[in-house]
Amino acid sequence: MRRRGFIALLGGAAVSWPLTARAQQAAMPIGFLGASTPLAWSRWSAAFVQRLRELGWVEGRTVAIEYRWAEGRSERYAEIAAEFVRLKVDVILTVGGAVVAAQQATSVIPIVFAIAIDPVETGLVASLGRPGGNVTGLSMQATDLAGKRLELLREVLPGLQRLAILANVGYLASVVEIGKVQAAARKLAYEVDILEIRRTEDIAPAFGTLKSAPQALYVCGGALTTANSARINTLAMSARLPTIYPDRLFLEAGGFMAYGANNSDLFRRAADYVDKILRGAKAADLPVEQPTRFDLAINLITAKALGITVPPSLLARADEVIE
């Protein structure tokens, strides 16, 4: 019995080894195009991988995730997308700013955006319900939140009269957002200065163009501002400008306040799209979804440094307070 058991054990090992090897060889490749840096996206990429695991896709075993990072340089998108086509990945996961480059590289490989500021207005999809083509994902509704962010600033700064907007004008979604912020600012009778940037080297000079004395800074989201959040916050602090952002990660580098969709949640939900596509669904048949969680975060350390007193009623509504 012992001998038969030993032989059975050897036989089982002999059978399981090639099965494991075949499973590893059959790991389905996913192209992960990170628009910013690994550090800036660490929470988001971890949320994506964790959700994949919950759905039965284990990195290094059943899926092989090819990570590539543009580090805030949009000119890298086309190069990375072309590499994914050469690697014959089964799906590309990215964000709205990189979708056009990915679309130009392939009309066959499914593309899932975890974040897109306004995918219809920026032309990424035909409609939310029927995206069409090989692209689908999640809309941040960031442009719809511009008015809400200004209202939050007014609660903290009731005397606010002049606002500066920092945005990458080479990124169509930010151009759309600028228009939304300006419209919201007009309703509140705010004067507006626009700080236009297209690359990292433009950020410091942009602050130098401020001829007036704005009392707050609205920063539009995007790969360029995400990758340079520490630089932006340092310059804003030097100018004594309280900042408002679309995501709480900017507060880790010293930002003041953030309100927007929970990006970690969006990356988790993007994993559901990838799961469906790997199991045979077509991107064109998967409607674009919208956020279900919106978070308000306030950095009291920055508030103290700027001499700002945040109303207790606003602190009570915050999802996260950094102290």
pLDDT per residue as tens digits for the range 260-278: 999 999 999 999 999 999 9
**CA dist., res. 226 & res. 228, Å (int):** 5
Q: In terms of pLDDT, which residue wins out, 182 or 211?
A: 182
The b-or-e profile of 185-201 (16+ CB within 10 A means b, else e) is beeeebebbbbbbeeee
Residue 16: CB atoms within 10 A of its CB come to 10
45 near 34, Cβ under 8 Å? yes
Residue found under tokens 């050469």: 86
DSSP state letter for 129: S
User: Binning pLDDT at 50, 70 and 90, where does residue 298 land?
Assistant: very high
Residue 284: other Cβ atoms inside 10 A: 16
Q: Strands (DSSP E) along the chain, which ranges?
A: 28-34, 63-69, 91-94, 111-116, 135-139, 162-168, 191-197, 216-219, 243-245, 257-261, 294-299, 320-322
pLDDT of residue 112 exceeding 60: yes
Q: What is the mean pLDDT of the chain?
A: 90
- pLDDT band for 89, please (50, 70, 90 cuts): very high
Residue 55 in this model has a pLDDT that exceeds 80: yes
Residue 11's pLDDT is 41
pLDDT of 134 over the 70 cut: yes
Least confident span in 66-70, 102-106, 121-125: 121-125
CA 74 to chain CA centroid, Å, is 14
In the numeric block, the tokens 């970690």 are attached to 264
- Model pLDDT, residue 22: 37
Helix (H) or strand (E) holding 81: helix 76-87
If you classify domain 143-261+295-322 with CATH, what class do you get? Answer: alpha beta
Per-residue pLDDT at 249: 87
Kindly state the average pLDDT of the residues 213-235. Answer: 93
Residue 82 pLDDT more than 90? yes
* % pLDDT > 70, the chain: 91
pTM (two decimals): 0.80
- Which among 265, 254, 251 is positioned nearest to 296, based on CA atoms? 251
Confidence of residue 143 (pLDDT cuts 50, 70, 90): low
Q: What are phi and psi of 290, to 5 degrees?
A: -115, 165
Residue 195 predicted with pLDDT over 50: yes
Q: Is the pLDDT of residue 24 over 60?
A: no
User: Does residue 171 have a pLDDT over 70?
Assistant: yes
Please give the Cα distance from 54 to 41 (Å, whole number).
Answer: 20
Structure tokens at 322: 């950094």
Q: How far is CA 52 from the centre of its chain?
A: 18
Q: How confident is the model at residue 14 (pLDDT cuts 50, 70, 90)?
A: very low
What pLDDT shows up at residue 10?
Answer: 38
Which part of the chain is CATH 3.40.50.2300? 2-140+263-293, 143-261+295-322
Return the CATH fold of 2-140+263-293. Answer: Rossmann fold (3.40.50)
